[in-house]
Structure 1
């Protein structure tokens, strides 16, 4: 049996991680979710440690995505005795922006004004409570998918009528105040084992697709994204640590923007899938995959009988 198994969907995102695991001599199994099935009557997991690497954006690449399947699979492996990193509870949180916002607010952190609905017909009433400009978001999104800005009621009503308003694969929608991000930037704070690891500022040029990883940046038609190393204040680092611990997040990114209207940091996204920044040695001066594998090897040792 391998020491660790990695469950993943994207065919290219984890090449840097696999490379470090190979170089370190870690005995691992890479399990692609696409053609996977499991017997709920069999209680032997594929490894004593399982690392969940399922991306919310997988629904963009295949209609028969593994987002909901993986929640059942990871829960089965966990019940079978495996230590599951970013396990089924974290995956469920990752798959709900509404739940993420509730968690952020419960920690006393500012979030964008938001209303959650489950019918497109209820969007105009929710929008009146928020005010324009606003964005409509899919509850399950990824790489900026399912986010559209509307500047007035007429534009929103027309989009509902012609069917162009965003939809979500779970049919849950968010109406959210459009926050003018200071400098056009958002900050992503990466965490490892519940602690701050590094931060980057991302400028998407006004777009919503802010994925900073190698495989994202080379996708055809991808808009230009500017990424720089960030040095967030202690208060934001402390908030990221608290969020990671409250979410049970083993590895993940937390996104925040400074509201240019009043200077308030508004947290809006918790990402359980972090494939780290492209060209990390150029951006950060070091490679976070090395830190990740250091920690994975520690977890492997702890899981040994």
Structure 2
């Protein structure tokens, strides 16, 4: 029987999608790729495949899930199965260096960034960056892994040579110029089927704890940008977003074969937009969606249902 196959490694991030698929009475099956096997002599099952593989899988004890997924994608793509967020999307999900090089190639501005391997090189990178304030982050991240704000190289030295230094899973640390937002917020643009769905403004006055998933509880982020003056929603869906950047993002996703993504940017005091993260296993915040009456997982389930129907129609001919 042909189905919609959901490839992932974290049940908490798929339960909202599978609930919507069930509501729409769509046939689906989950492939949890923490471990498994791929028989290259066999053909994959019929259906369409959607990946929600995460760069932060190793934080849940699923160290090699992305590597297994990448090989599964090769197998699926060999047999010309329809795969949404396949090999190219996963490659970008697992490397911010690849994200920034691809964004820059597409003419999309990113913060100045230097990648370094080794503690001495991390310090050297900060010196070469020459920024008054800068942040570190993991190249293979998710959940804001390794994000720290520094106002001096000396402070970085203490961190790198101290007991709290967080070694990236791929060994690559990024040193990046700090872009200060006068509004103390960032914007996350959600795309489904390669098309803009909505933008959510994220309040960063309490730090960059930006994962919108209800299941997320991020305790390893530190990037304060001021004190919160008044109570307001951390995640708020907004209208009237800058149209040129949306068109750029849609073209970027199309060129890189990415169907579903959340792309984050920040504006400086001059109004310049800096894009700094692409999430290809995007999550949605239920409170923000309820307030706006827009529901990402429902829209995603509808998209997958429509694509599944197209595939079934072709199979019948």
TM-score normalised to structure 2 length: 0.88
Query: How many Å separate the matches in 2 of 1:188 and 1:220?
Result: 17
5 Å matches for 1:84-163?
A: 84-130=83-129, 131-162=131-162
Query: How many Å separate the matches in 1 of 2:70 and 2:204?
Result: 31
Task: Note if contact 1:77-1:84 (Cα within 8 Å) is conserved in structure 2.
Answer: yes
Query: How many Å separate the matches in 2 of 1:274 and 1:255?
Result: 11
- CA 188–110 in structure 1, closer or farther in 2 if over 3 Å, else same: same
Task: Note if contact 1:253-1:272 (Cα within 8 Å) is conserved in structure 2.
Answer: yes
Partner of 1:21: 21
Unaligned runs of 5+ in 1: none
Task: Note if contact 2:211-2:283 (Cα within 8 Å) is conserved in structure 1.
Answer: no
> How many correspondences in the alignment?
301
Query: How many Å separate the matches in 1 of 2:242 and 2:4?
Result: 35
Query: How many Å separate the matches in 1 of 2:191 and 2:46?
Result: 24
CA-CA distance at 1:246 after TM superposition: 2.6
- CA 280–37 in structure 1, closer or farther in 2 if over 3 Å, else same: farther
Task: Note if contact 1:137-1:166 (Cα within 8 Å) is conserved in structure 2.
Answer: no
Query: How many Å separate the matches in 2 of 1:20 and 1:282?
Result: 15
CA-CA distance at 1:163 after TM superposition: 5.2
CA-CA distance at 1:2 after TM superposition: 3.5
Partner of 2:229: none
Comparing 159-168 with 219-228, greater Cα deviation is found at: 219-228
- CA 35–193 in structure 1, closer or farther in 2 if over 3 Å, else same: same
Comparing 3-12 with 63-72, greater Cα deviation is found at: 63-72
1:236 aligned onto 2:235: no
CA displacement 1:121-143 (0-9 Å, x = unmatched): 21122112222311111101111
- CA 199–116 in structure 1, closer or farther in 2 if over 3 Å, else same: same
CA displacement 1:76-101 (0-9 Å, x = unmatched): 12212311110011101111101111
Task: Note if contact 1:276-1:288 (Cα within 8 Å) is conserved in structure 2.
Answer: yes
Partner of 1:286: 294
Task: Note if contact 1:203-1:226 (Cα within 8 Å) is conserved in structure 2.
Answer: yes
Query: How many Å separate the matches in 2 of 1:11 and 1:259?
Result: 37
Name the Cα RMSD after superposition.
2.1
Query: How many Å separate the matches in 2 of 1:99 and 1:225?
Result: 32
Query: How many Å separate the matches in 2 of 1:283 and 1:212?
Result: 14
Query: How many Å separate the matches in 2 of 1:203 and 1:281?
Result: 16
Match of 1:256 among 261, 265, 268: 265
CA displacement 1:250-296 (0-9 Å, x = unmatched): 10110000012x22110011110112222354232122222212211
Partner of 1:7: 7
Partner of 1:185: 185
Task: Note if contact 2:77-2:83 (Cα within 8 Å) is conserved in structure 1.
Answer: yes
5 Å matches for 1:148-227?
A: 148-162=148-162, 164-216=164-216, 219=217, 226-227=234-235
CA-CA distance at 1:41 after TM superposition: 2.8
CA-CA distance at 1:8 after TM superposition: 1.4
- CA 113–206 in structure 1, closer or farther in 2 if over 3 Å, else same: farther
CA-CA distance at 1:220 after TM superposition: 8.1
Partner of 1:247: 256
TM-score normalised to structure 1 length: 0.91
Q: Give secondary structure in 2 for the equivalent of 1:108.
A: coil
Partner of 1:32: 32
